[in-house]
Structure 1
Amino acid sequence: MEVKDVEMRDRTQTPARLFRGLLCLLVLLLTAFMMLVFYGFISAIFVRVFSIHYSRKATSFFFGSWLAVWPFLFEKINKTKVIFSGEMVPARERVLIIANHRTEVDWMYLWDLAIRKGQLGYIKYILKSSLMKLPVFGWGFHILEFISVERKWEVDESTMRQMLSTFKDYHDPLWLALFPEGTDFTEQKCIRSQKYAAENGLPILKNLLLPKTKGFHTCVQDLRKCLDAVYDVTIGYKHRCPSLLDNVFGLEPSEVHIHIQRIPLDNIPTTENEVANWLMDTFSNKDQLLDKFHSQGHFPHEGTEGDLSTMKCLVSITTLLVLTSLSTYFTFFSPSGSKSMYYSPVPIWPSLPVSTFDQCQFSAVKNCLET
């Protein structure tokens, strides 16, 4: 108990943490904007006219460099311990990932696994449509080909199937991440989920919400022939679940535990009812695993992945800084700088309302990505 208190006191807010966090946040926002303005257009529209495969490779290169900043921030700057357990999964598989959704930043810690497997630029998420409308980041979600859902199956089915149909080329790496609970965990949501489970003869879960099965079944059904496996990922935090700002300022968590089970597609049934029952059983086992984590402080079979490579992160961050420096130079300081101030998209886009920007630019991105 004394050790825990020391760790928690050590992670209180300080002026140094506040300054460092604000500086990191500024760098992340500025580099994100410059990457989207210049290299997002190149990779997602210009290259895609000639080849979808090479468009995705270019997008992975450019945005993988930016995404690498986050694991570096978590593990190297904030000194958060990311501990992997369960099975050591192969590199460069095409997979569907299912994970519990304890807090708003669970999906960011999947990047810590993806960077170790060389798949950081190829990870895609199924996420609620409101996030796709965020300034800057929402534009990136479109370019990275995230699947937007309204969480109404009669609306989402056609969108999901259309996007999934573009992911079937086995030559394109793919990590597709799905949170079957559909929303992050809260005590109030858990009570409602348990009530529904009791009324319908379903497992009563203490650490999870009941999974929604239709989206998972659709992913498995549509991609079964072009996936290698499903990764069942369970995430646990010590000592408190973090928010986005906790991550940026290094306040929480002190440790992130990620347990992975690799499931071959042949082990997953084919009919919708059987898949639904399989997913319910999987979440029931996941709930028991989280019970043990909370009582023991760790998952079984730890140490399946090594520490994050500092050199790999530095190479990615150096690439990011070089790219953003070049784009900044050509925008403001090139010999034709006077023209670039009028014709480059940098001063023009922020002056447009978001709705106008969406109509005149990212409708083109979306249409291009959906072809």
Structure 2
Amino acid sequence: MEEVCTPLKSDSRLKHRPLTPLRLLRGVICLVVFLSTAFICIVYLSPLAVVGLRLISIRYSRKAVSFFFGLWLSMWPFLFEKINRTKVVFSGDSIPMRERVLLIANHRTEVDWMYLWDLALRKGRLGCIKYILKSSLMKLPIFGWGFHLLEFIAVERKWEIDEQILQKNLSTFQDPKDPLWLSLFPEGTDYTEQKCKSSKKFAAEAGLPVLSNVLLPKTKGFHTCLETLRDSLDAVLSIAVGLEVHLSFHFCHKMTRRHHPLHVGC
């Protein structure tokens, strides 16, 4: 039987706190430390892990990248939760440690992908978390270089182009011995009131369910991830990110690798 945590009870109203000089200073310090250390890792550590070891073994190269990436990325929860004093609350079903999972989440803000690091750290998977993201992010200075080195999957959000991109990249992650947390935001973009109105209009015209708190998800990419990785995944996780930086984790489906077909219903 899965251990179920106590449901999260919180005020649904979004709390706005004034931007004081101290809060601004803490935010600037966090940003400077994060960017400067990212640059150091990319310039000095990644050539050894990505270029040197990859000539010998792709697996060892990925292990080295995962180690350095996880070591550097562990600073974020510390800066985020301790220095910036942001309270992160987890609720929902218990999630086992160290599994290969496909992780799907809603997209309430532009930084939801960062919130997932807090969970990955606690589950021993911080270094192996990877994202499917829009290709324009690959052009960002420093971060874009890192996304390439970490083998994030960039998509154009045009299925006639993205189908081959996804299949080609996902096929390199099929080894069940390689640790993996593949993160996907099925909505395809962050939530806004205007996007919600457009999503509702499209859903109504197409005879699809009209959703209020999320945008109509794009299913083709999700389906491709499942079909390509189904024999190497341990589970599919559905995560709901709350507005008050409350993270609610719901364990959708547990499967035994290779023995049972994958069915997901959240």
TM-score scaled by length of structure 1: 0.65
Partners of 2:146 and 2:181 lie apart in 1 by 17
Shift of 1:184: 0.6
Q: Determine the structure 1 residue equivalent to 2:41.
A: 35
Displacement after TM superposition at 1:23 (Å) = 2.1
Contact 1:82 1:258 in 2 (8 A): no
> Please, which of 223, 226, 229 is the counterpart of residue 217 of structure 1?
223
Structure 2 CA distance for aligned equivalents of residues 191 and 268 of structure 1: 33
Of 121, 130, 154, the residue aligned with 2:160 is 154
Q: Which amino acid aligns with 1:24?
A: C
One-letter code of the match for 1:91?
A: M
- Quick one: distance in 1 between partners of 2:87 and 2:191? 22
Distance 1:268 1:195, change over 3 A: farther
Determine the structure 1 residue equivalent to 2:104. 98
Q: Are 1:109 and 2:99 counterparts?
A: no
1:80 to 75, 81, 86: 86
2:242 match: secondary structure: strand
Larger Rg, first or second structure (1 or 2): 1
Which residue of 97, 121, 124 corresponds with 1:118?
Answer: 124
1:258 matched residue in structure 2: 248
Q: Give the deviation of 1:268 after TM superposition.
A: 4.1
- Name the structure 2 match of 1:324: none
Deviation at residue 42 of structure 1 after TM alignment:
1.1
Distance 2:219 2:252 in 1: 19
Change (3 A) 1:35 1:268: same
**What is the RMSD computed on CA atoms of the aligned residues?**
1.9
SS in 2 for 1:207: coil
Cα shift readout 1:234-268 (whole Å, capped 9, x = no counterpart): 11122xxxxxxxxxxxxxxxx42322223135574
Structure 2 CA distance for aligned equivalents of residues 109 and 35 of structure 1? 21
Query: How far, CA to CA, are the matches of 1:122 and 1:104 in structure 2?
Result: 21
Equivalent pair of 2:203/2:210 in contact (CA under 8 Å) = yes
Question: Cα deviation per residue 1:139-173 (whole Å; 9 max; x = unaligned)?
Answer: 00011110000000101111111110110111110
Structure 2 CA distance, aligned partners of 1:192 and 1:12? 32
Distance 2:128 2:53 in 1: 16
Separation in 2 of the partners of 1:189 and 1:25? Answer: 29
Q: How far off its partner does 1:32 sit?
A: 0.6
Q: CA deviation at 1:17?
A: 2.1
Q: Which of 13, 16, 20 is the equivalent residue of 2:22? A: 16
In structure 1, list runs of 5 or more residues that go unmatched: 239-254, 270-274, 283-371
* Structure 1 pair 184–8 and aligned structure 2 pair: CA distance change class (3 A): closer
For 2:69, which of 63, 67, 71 is the aligned residue? Answer: 63
Structure with the higher helix share, 1 or 2: 1
CA distance in 2, matches of 1:34, 1:78: 23
Partner of 1:193: 199
What TM-score comes out, normalization by structure 2 length? 0.89
Tell me the distance in 2 between the aligned counterparts of 1:197 and 1:205: 8
Structure 2: how far apart are the matches of 1:190 and 1:8?
A: 22
Mapped partners of 1:189, 1:31: distance in 2: 35
2:26/2:83 contact within 8 Å kept: no
Query: 1:140-289 counterparts in 2 under 5 A?
Result: 140-238=146-244, 255-265=245-255, 266=260, 268-269=262-263, 282=266
Distance 1:135 1:118 in 2: 28
Distance 2:86 2:34 in 1: 19
Query: 1:226: how far off?
Result: 0.4
CA apart distance, 1:24: 2.0
Q: Output one character per residue of 1:120-147: Cα deviation in whole Å (capped at 9) or x when no partner.
A: 0100000000001100000000111100
Give % identity: 62
Q: Is the 8 A contact 2:235 2:254 kept in 1?
A: yes
Amino acid at match of 2:125: Q
1:42-89 CA-partner distances (Å, limit 9, x unpaired) = 111111111111111111111111111111122111222211111111
Aligned ranges 1:330-345 → 2 under 5 Å: none
Structure 2: runs of 5 or more not aligned = 1-10
| Counterpart residue identity of residue 97, structure 1 | L
